[in-house]
Amino acid sequence: MSGSKEETVIRKLLDSADIKINGDRPWDIQVLNSGFYQRVLSGGSLAFGESYMDGWWECPALDRMFTRLFENRVHEKAGTVIKSAPWAGLKALVLNAQSRAKAFVVGKRHYDIGNDLFLAMLDRDMNYSCAYWCDAATLEDAQRAKVELICRKIGLKPGMRVLDIGCGWGGFIKHAACEHGARILGVTVSREQAEYVKAECCEPDVRVELMDYRDLNGAFDAVVSVGMFEHVGHKNYRTYMRTVHRCLKPKGLFLLQTIGGNRSTKSLDPWVEKYIFPNAMLPSARQITEAAEGLLILEDWQSFGHYYDKTLMAWYHNFIANWARLKANYSKRFYRMWTYYLLSCAGGFRAKMNQLWQIVFSNEGIEGVFRNSDHFFVSE
């Protein structure tokens, strides 16, 4: 049976990734509302995500479906036939969406939505960034391995003064203070995160502030930033690196962990920007190194984006397992939104659409650095 012109276009795009409309495989899409085709053709990736949130289509294995979409570059093919509004790209060029005045927006709209959600989804130490699964079998072990890897990379020793930019719920802070005796200042734009760390980490040498990174000053032996640089924005990358340079002692090290993009862009996917991370964007390797040029010296660059797929799937399974007690506080539409978020991101990392980097910079260069195949250490 022939369908509308819009249906023909959508079917052809999905066929290029071996995804069938109303097929019987886990990655096939089941269309439940015939308006789906016109809606997606008119609204692109934003409409694709919103129509899923509204229950217009189903897919038993969203992560596998997205992996096929990204591996076959369907998003690029769609750009020739789907007319999406150019406002997002134009806005990113003209406006500074991550200015001081807007710095706390992502805290209110994402990180403050409910600690009960993140407690149910994350590991015990509430690490909301890619885990390090090298020798780990569980999320708990993989997240602990990640923060310990960071401690080794910066050569953390008792008494060192460390700045954590974007400290989250304090996963690194608690480990570095309790296990290594570090003195730490953590800053965040999330009120819920700040209050949580203050309540959970009672170490005398830990301080947490609700603060924009641009207001930072002081002299620190090391600076760490995990999963925060994605909120800085291309207009502010250089300002961010100047802040790190200003706060880092001459012989200090800066570790940056960030999701990265394969290309330099100035905007984020419109669905993710609207519903998950407002005003966010993914830096490219070029954007990071250009921002640091003349300020910081690149010492090491490790890529382990394949571990983010596994991390996101672990978060998804925790979310599903705990939904029965979460649903009193969150709607069914939120459930579909959060599922779409976690599984689309997992599919993206599986398809190498995005990367995850740990990058070590120094202020003036250091001696005695050695590496093996999987770790970077600073000699005693």
Q: Using alpha carbons only, what angle is made at residue 51 by residues 47 and 52, rounded to the nearest 5 degrees?
A: 120
The answer to whether the beta carbons of residues 165 and 216 sit under 8 Å apart is yes
> What is the rounded CA–CA span in Å between residue 111 and residue 193?
7
Angle between helices 332-350 and 306-321 (to 10 degrees): 160
Residue 370 has φ and ψ, to the nearest 5°, of -140, 155
Going by the DSSP 8-state scheme, the letter that residue 283 receives in this structure is: P
Residue 133: C-alpha distances to residues 64, 137, 301 (Å) = 21, 7, 18
HSE toward the beta carbon, residue 273, CA cutoff 13 A: 20
Give the DSSP letter of residue 32. -
Measured between alpha carbons, how far apart are the two ends of the chain, in Å?
72
Could you confirm whether 345 is annotated as catalytic? yes
42 φ, ψ (degrees, to nearest 5): -85, -30
What span, in angstroms and rounded, lies between the C-alpha atoms of 180 and 157?
6
Main-chain phi, psi angles of 377, to 5 degrees:
-130, 155
Contacts of 341 (CB under 8 A, 6+ apart): 272, 275, 276
Which residue in the list 59, 167, 247, 345 is annotated as catalytic?
Answer: 345
Would strands 248-261 and 354-362 be described as parallel, antiparallel, or unpaired?
antiparallel
Q: Report yes or no: 189 and 98 within 8 Å, Cβ to Cβ.
A: no
Two structure tokens written together for 197: 């760390």
**Tokens, residue 352:** 């190498």
Residue 70, CB-side half-sphere exposure with 13 Å CA sphere = 19
| Structure tokens given for 88 | 């997002």
The answer to whether 319 and 311 are in contact (CB under 8 A) is no
Q: Write out the catalytic residue numbers.
A: 345
